[in-house]
Structure 1
């Protein structure tokens, strides 16, 4: 069992971790969510570090999980707690003597965020829209909760303090970077983390608030190690795993296009668009293939776990996968909210929707 001490980013609210904490506890771990003095204009980095230490009311080793601004704070408590590991999540990585206010310009964050928006074809005005920056991968329920909430308050005081350590602590450190982080884009984090910590980032689903928007995938990453390959969380499953039958899945046919008149050699084939809704605990099984009906899947909401070749992979909003003659898999929603995907595939004229 691991004791995770969860340090939030700007806004400093322990409630940021409200979706991740139950996922960690359900896996048999302790989770301590920290409140930081974000609204206190007299509180600098030392006061933030004090708040973390006061939150830990048990003896023994802990793993620090630091979100965004929390990356400046976690190293400051390593000589005051029994820290066995630091896990940085979409975090700031300071250099000795650098202030948080200077970090943005020193690292080139603004230029990186703008370049990523241009790469995606997004309106550059969206860079100033917090809902587009932070909640673009949130499900409808979370987005409604956030918009109905009181908003966050963050004093600029801790950003004025030079980071006081001479070097990063000699503590094993991992860095989890979200694939679609619009504030700290993935390529930006790869560069900064390599330069400052000498680490390769582990790529996760979601955006900047991935621990809030993708709690199932993040809990798996935190408790079972990092992802393999470039970008989607994967974890091993047993070779003799048997996929259950389909349950809790609703399929809606949105439209088809007869490809025969459109493309030479495509007579008798149609392009099909469907939307699938997976209720919590839903399964799309049993194991099936896609021979003769290649396609692409895109996740709109929630997290869907794809089981294939002995590996289970979690996909969140904004992510997806191709399906071709080599695809043999089954799907499930292990989360607590409905998951929604859209599927586009090519089918034979006589084929029936599945």
Structure 2
């Protein structure tokens, strides 16, 4: 049995993972999906990491999963807890010393013109869930955005990258290139929008379970 530490993206909350978490728990695993202190103007990546590590507790078999902006926190958690596996899900892969605000230009991110927020992030999310996600959205007022990422390196643990082919925010081409350039990996792919956590939770959970099964033998 593993403990899956699910880290939400910018402006999000642990709720974003609730459907995936239900599937993982039904398969016999433990799940933590804490709310990061993103509304605290003094909070940094150290605070984000502490929040997730505290939620993990003394679990020994840990899979760390970072969605979107949560990709900056996930490697720090994986390093701290000696994770069995690290997974970037439509995730931002950081470089040592790179501030999150620098990432976009460094990787050649281009925004999609003329699309609403819902079209960029939730094109295939059922309307009721999309509305609930918008209600639960939080302001990202924390202090880390312009501060260099504190990791000395990406952790030396088995790592996977999963992108969503229908993502209109982080395009598949962008994340394929980032995975190759920053991790030397070929990204895995599945259908879905940026928030496929809500539109395709069972398929996403099954991917995570398969990744864990592969490293656990």
* Fold match (TM-score > 0.5): yes
SS in 2 for 1:222: helix
Match of 1:205 in 2: 191
Distance of 2:83 and 2:23 partners within structure 1 = 22
Structure 2 counterpart of 1:173: 159
RMSD: 1.6
Q: TM-score, normalised by structure 1?
A: 0.57
- CA offsets per residue over residues 129-186 of structure 1, 9 Å max, x none? 2111111110133123235x24321125221110122321101000000011111100
In structure 2, what is the Cα distance between the partners aligned to 1:78 and 1:89? 15
Match of 1:184 among 147, 151, 170: 170
Select the structure of larger CA radius of gyration: 1
C-alpha spacing 1:101/1:136, structure 2 compared with 1 (3 Å): same
The answer to which structure has the higher helix fraction is 2
The answer to whether structure 1 residue 30 and structure 2 residue 30 are counterparts is yes
Structure 1 residues 82 and 168: CA distance shift in structure 2, 3 A: closer
**Greater share of strand:** 1
- Deviating beyond 6 angstroms after TM superposition, the runs of 4 or more aligned structure 1 residues are none
Map 1:275-290 to 2 at 5 A: none
1:8 corresponding residue in structure 2: 8
- Is 2:143 the partner of 1:154? no
Shift of 1:199: 0.5
Partners of 1:77 and 1:140 in 2: how far apart?
A: 33
Of 51-60 and 84-93, the range deviating more from structure 2: 51-60
Shift of 1:44: 1.1
User: What is the alpha-carbon distance in structure 2 between the residues aligned to residue 12 and residue 210 of structure 1?
Assistant: 14
Residues 99 and 29 of structure 1, relative CA distance in 2, 3 Å threshold: same
Over residues 48-103 of structure 1, what are the superposed CA-to-partner deviations in whole Å (9 max), with x where a residue is unaligned? 11111111124312000111111111111234213110011000011111100000
SS in 2 for 1:11: coil
**TM-score, with length taken from structure 2:** 0.92
Distance (Å, rounded) in 1 between the aligned partners of 2:136 and 2:197 = 20
What's 1:135 paired with?
122
Counterparts in 2 of 1:162 and 1:145: CA distance versus 1, 3 Å: same
Does the CA contact (< 8 Å) of 1:12 and 1:37 recur in 2? no
Unaligned runs of 5+ in 2: 213-217
Q: What pairs up with 1:1-354 in 2 under 5 angstroms? A: 1-110=1-110, 113-114=111-112, 124-126=113-115, 129-147=116-134, 149-155=135-141, 157-225=143-211
Q: Count matched residues.
A: 212
Contact (CA 8 Å) 1:205, 1:217: kept in 2 or not?
Answer: no
* In structure 1, distance between residues paired with 2:151 and 2:32: 25
Secondary structure, aligned partner of 2:81: coil
The answer to whether the Cα contact below 8 Å between 2:123 and 2:193 also exists between their aligned partners in 1 is: yes
Q: Please, which runs of 5 or more residues in structure 1 have no aligned partner? A: 115-123, 227-354
